[in-house]
Amino acid sequence: MELTEVLGSPVVQAPMAGGGSTPELVAAVSEAGGFGFLAAGYKTAAAMRAEIERTRQATSRPFGMNLFLPSHDPVDDAALAAYRERLAPEAALLGVEPGTAADRGDGWDAKVADLLADPVAVVSFTFGCPSAEVLRDFQAAGTLTIVTVTSVDEARTATAAGADVLCVQGSEAGGHSGAFTNAAADAANTPLRTLLAEVRLSTELPLIAAGGLADGGDIAETLLLGASAAQLGTVFVACPESGASAVHKAALTDPRFTATAMTRAFSGRPARGLVNRFLTEHSGHAPAAYPDVHYLTAPLRKAAAARGDAGLVNLWAGESYRRAEPGVPAAEIVARLLRGATPAQ
């Protein structure tokens, strides 16, 4: 199965868990000639299926679903308890309690079973590589499989397991590092263009480039470096069809936010976001406990977003965030990207 035949475009809208990837966004991207991705992270299998059906009602074009692999990283319960205590005053000011632990497996088995029973065109994986058996099952169902990698070692592992495609995520990417383990995420600091060249030498699989890409020129450059397509997230965060909060969208052009940084403060796993008060004050204290910290901070983040307080919300953004344009529809973004990615004849 050829990647270009399935995607039909060099423009891939990144799956954005936590609300960013809506059926409306995915349908708009796919209808405009890009390839849209839903995100199953933090949802039940039933909620995932409902979004698939809504997307199918809005477009007849193919789209993808992203799954998080279960977390098997060890957790220091004492460190987690200490972080909860540290955040208690923040929670009290917001009128909420810190959250409690939930399923560390993110409903993996139920989601895999659902997608095998009623497949979508593409399934991508983040935070690890599925077993060879799971990859074969998806391929037998007619689904193209993509594994997110952040190093040459991960690329080799995914290649050996039988993945169809690798999504090569550079250090510039917004949101979570897709590294296979929490420890590997700490070491995933290779810029996209360097990593893309290294991975290109280690595998013959098709590659999708991801990390800090914002316009057609960026896409054209990655295609010249050996990628078959480019995945972009931050440029779609601010569009009307995105499910990102209003405070998140506004922050992308707010002059108060002048940089991005990696942090565990919101989720317990390294992720890139705009530097705000919460990131600055708590990054050095958050334990490597994913998704435990995610669930712990969830009530605080929700309450802060409702109040419009950008200082306490996870403002995921790639290094190219200043090139995002709030209010521009997804279809127009895709059209601009496709024009810019195609060399003038």
Residue 345 is predicted with a pLDDT of: 37
Reported residue count of the chain is: 345
**pLDDT at residue number 17:** 96
Residue 1 — very low, low, confident or very high, per pLDDT cuts 50/70/90?
A: low
In whole angstroms, give the CA distance from residue 36 to residue 212.
18
Work out the average pLDDT over 60-84.
95
User: What average pLDDT score do residues 192-205 get?
Assistant: 97
Question: What pLDDT digit, counting tens, does each position of 101-111 carry?
Answer: 888 899 999 99
Report the alpha-carbon distance of residue 20 to residue 66 in Å, rounded.
Answer: 13
pLDDT of residue 3: 80
**Rounded average pLDDT over 54-79:** 96
- Which residues are bridge partners to 271 per DSSP? 176, 263
For residue 291, whether the previous peptide bond is cis, meaning omega lies within 30 degrees of 0, is yes
| Domains of the chain from N-terminus onward | 1-71+106-243+324-345 (3.20.20.70), 73-104+253-316 (no CATH)
Higher pLDDT, 274 or 74: 274
Over 80: is that where the pLDDT of 4 sits?
no
Q: How crowded is residue 96: how many other Cβ atoms within 10 Å of its Cβ?
A: 16
Specify the pLDDT at position 343. 58
- pLDDT exceeds 70 at position 2: no
Q: Please compute the mean of the pLDDT values over residues 147-159 and round it to a whole number.
A: 98
The whole-chain average pLDDT of the chain stands at 95
pTM of this prediction exceeds 0.75:
yes
The Cα–Cα gap between 245 and 337 comes to 24
Residues 288-344: pLDDT tens digits?
999 999 999 999 999 999 999 999 999 999 999 999 998 999 999 999 999 988 754
Amino acid 93: pLDDT: 95
Per DSSP, the three-state class of 5 is: helix
210 three-state secondary structure: strand
Q: Which residues contact 21 (CB under 8 A, 6 or more apart)?
A: 13, 14, 15, 36, 37, 38, 39, 66, 242, 243
pLDDT value for 102 = 80
pLDDT of amino acid 6 = 84
